[in-house]
Amino acid sequence: MKIFICDGTCDSFFSAVFDAYFQTDCIITSDSEVQLALDSQIVKVETDLEKSRRIQRGIQRYDVEGVPDVVSVLRSCDGLKEQIAFEYIKLVFERKAAIKKAYNLPQVIEFNDILYKVTGETHRMKGFLRFMESSSGALYAPYSPDNDITDLLMPHFAERFASEKFVIHDLKRKLAGMYDGHSWVIAHVGEAEVYLSEYEKTFETLWKCYYNAVNIKSRPHEKQMKGYMPVRYWKFLPEKN
Amino acid sequence: MLDANKLEILTESAKYDVSCSSSGSNRVNRGGGLGNGSVGGLCHSFTPDGRCISLLKILMSNECIYDCEYCPNRKSADVPRARVTPDEICELVINFYRRNYIEGLFLSSAVFENPNRTMELLCETVIKLRKVYNFNGYIHLKGIPHADETLVFKAARLVDRMSYNIELPSEKSLKMLAPQKTKQSLLLPMKNLRDAITYDKENKVRQNRVLPAGQTTQMIIGASPETDGQILQLTESLYRNMGLKRVYYSSYIPVVQSNKLPAVGAGLLREHRLYQADWLIRYYGFDVAEIVGEGENLSYEYDPKCAWALRNMHLFPVEVNTAPLATLLRVPGIGAKSAYKIIEARKFSKLDFDNLAKMRIVLKRAKHFITCGGKFYGSESLSQVQTALLLDGKNEVTEQLSMFSNSTVALSALTGEV
C-alpha cells in the first residue's frame, strides 16, 4: 500500500489527489507519524500547482461548493481528514455530479460530519470569542479552537469591528489574525504581551455581575448549558473564571 | 459609569422576559461604525439555567406606576429600585459589544412618571446609540403601552425588533391581573407597526426600514385559567393576522404572593408542550384545530405531534421514498431537518431502514409510522404503538425538558430562528 504524505497545505493535498487518483490501494495523510503497515510504501508528495489547479477545476465542474468545502475540511483537527476528503473527491468524479446532499452515502456522511464540525465551531466562536482592550485601544482575543478557523473568523469581525484594530490569536497553532482598520492578514505569532487598558477590569467585572444576575437560580439546567457551551471553551470566558 | 449594584437590580428585574433572540436582521455596518446584524442570530454565552445570552437584557428603570398583580416590579412591591440614564446604557452596550460579550441590546422599562416620559427616554437611548455612538448592532426595544404613536414610530425606524407583551392570554385575565393595561393599548400599536412593516416591504424601502426583524410578544402561562386550546388559538392568530415572528410563553413562577394568583407554578412541562405546538404551527403546516380543541389542554404524556398521529392512525404508514415533504413533516420523530435530508437523499437512491439509521434519523418513534421500500418495522396494533411512544416520551421529559428546548431544537432555534 502506498502512503502519500502531504505537508498540510491545500495545494499539497490536491497534488496528492492527482498522484494517488489511479492507485488502487493508497491513503493520503499529512500526519508524518502515521502507523505503517508491513507492506506500506511512503511517497512524499511534491506540491505541483498545475496538478492542484487541475483537480480543483475538475471538482468545480460538477460542484461549485466542492472546493471551498474540501478546503474547510482540511482545517479540521481530525487525523483522517485528507483520506476522507480524498474519498469524497473520488466519488464526485465517479458520479460526475455534486453529491453533497446524498446524505445516505458513507463517504458523504463522513465528509459532512467533519465539515459540520469546522463550520459549527466557526459559528460558535463568533459568539464565544472574547476580546480585551489593550492600553492602546486595540482589541486582543486569545483562544485555542479545535480546528484551524482563524481566517474563517476574520471576515466576520473585520466587518463588525470595521473601525477598530484587533488581533485574534490561536494559541494552539501560534497563528494570529490581525486587522488594522482596513484589511487583515494571518501571521505566525508565538507569544503576545498585552498591556490592558485601565477600564478593562471594570467592564469585565460588570459583565460577570450581569452574567450572575440574569441567571434564574430556581431553574437550574447545567447539562444544557454545557451542551451548548462546552467546558473546553470556558478557559477564555471571563464569566466562567 | 454604571455601577454594579444598579446593573444587578435592573438585570434581575428584566430577566423573566423570555425573548433573547438576535436573529432576523441583516443591518450592515455603515460609515465606519460599530457592529452589524447577524441574520441567523448568535449566542454569546449560556447561563447555568441553560438559557442563552445573546443580548444585554436590561430595564431602564424598575420604578413602576402600574400595579400588575404578577409582576415583581409592581408599584406596591417592596424591592430595591434603580434608574439609569441613556448615556450610561449606551456606554455599557458599546463596551460589552466591543469585547464580543453581546450581540446587542434588549431594552425595556417599567413605566415611570408616565408612559410618554418613559418612551421618550427609551427613544433617546436608541437615537444616541445609533447616531452618536454609531452603533449598528442589534437592538430589541420593548414598546410601552399607552405611549404616543409618534414616539413609537421614531424608535421603530431605528431598532431591529419591537415587542408589546400581551401578558395574559385573554382580555378578562388582563383586566383582573393587569388592570392598568388594556387590550387596546397592546394590540393597537402592534397593528400599526404591522401595517408599517408591510408598507415598507411592499414599497421596497431600504433606508431606515421599520423593524427589519419584526415583532414578538410574550404571555404568562398558568397565572390565569385559559386552556392550551385557547392560548394556541390566540397564538395562531398572532402569527397569521398580526405577522409576529415569535410568541414566547413564560410559565408562571410564584415570585409574588397574591390571592388573585395561584400558589404553585405552571411547571415546565406545560411550557414545553406549548412550544412544541407552536413549532408545529410555524414550521410543520399544522392548524391549531388539528392539535387541540378550544376547551382542551395538550397531552402531558405525548408530544403534540405524536398525539395527533395516534388520533389519525388511518393516515399511516407513509412510504419514505415517495411521500411529499408536507406528509413527512407529520411523521412523529421526523423533524424538519430529517425530512429535508430524506427528500434530498432519495433523489440519489432508494432508501431503506439501514440508510435512514446511517443518516441519523431517529427511528424510535418514526418506525411505527413509515415504510421503506414497502417494508414496515413498527408495531401493528395501536395499543402497542401507544405504549412504545409513552415509554419514549418519559425519556424525553426527563432528558430533554428545558425552558426553551423542543424536540426539533437546533442551536439556531435557541436564538429565536425566524
pLDDT for the residue B400: 39
Strand partners, B45: B53
**pLDDT over 60 (residue B43):** yes
- The DSSP line for A138-183 is -EEEEE--SS--HHHHHHHHHHHTTTS-EEEEETTTTEEEEE-SS-
Q: What residue has cell string 500526519? A: A31
Q: How confident is the model at residue B383 (pLDDT cuts 50, 70, 90)?
A: confident
Do the Cβ atoms of A83 and A29 come closer than 8 Å?
yes
Query: Is pLDDT at B414 greater than 80 in this prediction?
Result: no
The string of DSSP codes covering B125-169 is HHHIIIIIS-B-SEEEEEPPTT--HHHHHHHHTTSSEEE---BSS
**Is a pLDDT exceeding 90 seen at residue B407?**
no
Cα–Cα distance, B111 to B119 (Å, whole number): 9
Contacts of A202 in chain B (CB under 8 A): 1
Average pLDDT value for residue range A157-181: 96
Under the banding of pLDDT at 50, 70 and 90, the label for residue B392 is low
Asked if residue A40 has pLDDT above 50, the reply is yes
Does residue B292 sit in helix, strand or coil? coil
Question: In this complex, do A103 and B345 lie within 8 Å of one another by their Cβ atoms?
Answer: yes
pLDDT greater than 60 at residue B357: yes
Contacts of B246 by beta carbon, 8 Å cutoff, 6+ apart: B19, B21, B216, B217, B416, B418
CA distance B229 to A8: 59
With an 8 Å Cβ cutoff, are A104 and B345 in contact? yes
Residue of chain A with shortest Cα separation from B32: A163
> Do B44 and A161 make contact, defined as CB atoms within 8 angstroms?
no
CB-based contact B40:B417 (threshold 8 Å): yes
pLDDT at B386: 85
DSSP B186: H
Residue B393: per-residue pLDDT = 58
Q: Could you say which of B11, B345, B347 has the minimum Cβ distance to residue A213? A: B11
Q: Say if the Cβ atoms of A139 and B98 lie within 8 Å.
A: yes
Evaluate the CA torsion angle A29, A31, A36, A41 in order and state its sign.
Answer: positive
CATH value of B4-298 in 3.40.50.1820, 2.40.50.180, 3.20.20.70, 3.10.310.50: 3.20.20.70
Residue with grid cell 406545560, as numbered in its chain: B270
Q: What is the pLDDT of residue B395?
A: 53
The residue type of B45 is: S
CB contact under 8 A, A102 and B50: no
Q: How confident is the model over B45-66, as a mean pLDDT?
A: 95
Nearest to B332 by CA among B354, B372, B363: B363
A104/B348 Cβ within 8 A: yes
pLDDT per residue over A89-121, tens digit each?
Answer: 999 999 999 999 999 999 999 999 999 999 999
What was the pLDDT predicted at B403?
Answer: 40
- The predicted model gives B152-164 an average pLDDT of 96
Query: In chain B, pLDDT over 90 holds for what percent of residues?
Result: 77
For residue B394, what pLDDT is reported? 57
Residue B410's pLDDT is what?
A: 35
Going by pLDDT thresholds of 50, 70 and 90, the confidence category of residue B69 is confident
Q: How far does the CA of residue B417 sit from the closest CA of chain A (Å)?
A: 15
Q: Which residue has the higher pLDDT, A220 or B399?
A: A220
The chain A residue lying nearest B267, using CA atoms, is: A219
CA-wise closest residue to A103 among B336, B370, B328, B360? B360
With 50 as the cut, is the pLDDT of residue B332 above it?
A: yes
- Between chain A and chain B, the number of residue pairs with CB atoms below 8 A apart is 155
The average pLDDT across B207-212 equals: 92
Of B12, B46, B137, the CB nearest to A228: B46
Residue A24 banded pLDDT, cuts 50, 70, 90: confident
Q: CATH 3.20.20.70 in chain B: give the residue spans.
A: 4-298
- Beta strand A184-188 pairing with A175-179: antiparallel
Average pLDDT, chain B: 90
**Which range, of A131-140, B252-261, B397-406, averages the lowest pLDDT?**
B397-406
What is the rounded distance in angstroms from the CA atom of residue B181 to the CA atom of residue B59?
A: 19
Contact B105, B162 (CB under 8 A): no
Residue of A nearest to B102 (CA): A127
Contacts of B56 in chain A (CB under 8 A): 210
For B14-53, give one letter per residue: b (16+ CB within 10 A) or e. bbbbbbbbbbbbebebeeebbbbbbeebbbbbbbbbbbbb
Amino acid making up residue B409:
V
Closest alpha carbon to A144 in A176, A171, A104: A171
| For residue B258, pLDDT beyond 70 | yes
Instruction: Give the per-residue pLDDT at B267.
Output: 78
In angstroms, what CA-CA distances link B103 with A9, A148, B157, B198, B405?
34, 24, 19, 26, 21
pLDDT of residue B89: 97
Backbone angles phi, psi at B219, to 5 degrees: -140, 155
Find where cell 401595517 sits: B195
Distance CA B417, CA B409 (A): 10
CA A83 to chain centre: 17
The domain locations on chain A are 2-121, 129-240
Alpha carbon distance B194, B187 (integer Å): 10
Q: How far apart are CA A207 and CA B47, in angstroms?
A: 13
The C-alpha atoms of residue A133 and residue A227 are separated, in whole angstroms, by 29
pLDDT at B103 over 90: yes
Q: Is the pLDDT of residue B147 over 90?
A: yes
Q: Which of the four pLDDT bands, split at 50, 70 and 90, describes residue B7? A: very high
Please tell me the distance in Å from B167's CA to the nearest CA on chain A.
20
> Residue B232: is its pLDDT beyond 90?
yes
Burial class of residue B165, CB neighbours in 10 A (0-12, 13-18, 19+): buried
Q: What is the pLDDT of residue A31?
A: 79
Element (H or E) spanning B371, and its range? strand B370-371
Helix H segments across chain A?
A: 10-20, 49-62, 66-73, 81-95, 106-128, 150-160, 200-214, 222-228
Measured CA to CA, the distance from residue B143 to residue B163 in angstroms comes to: 6
Question: Would the pLDDT of B397 be above 60?
Answer: no
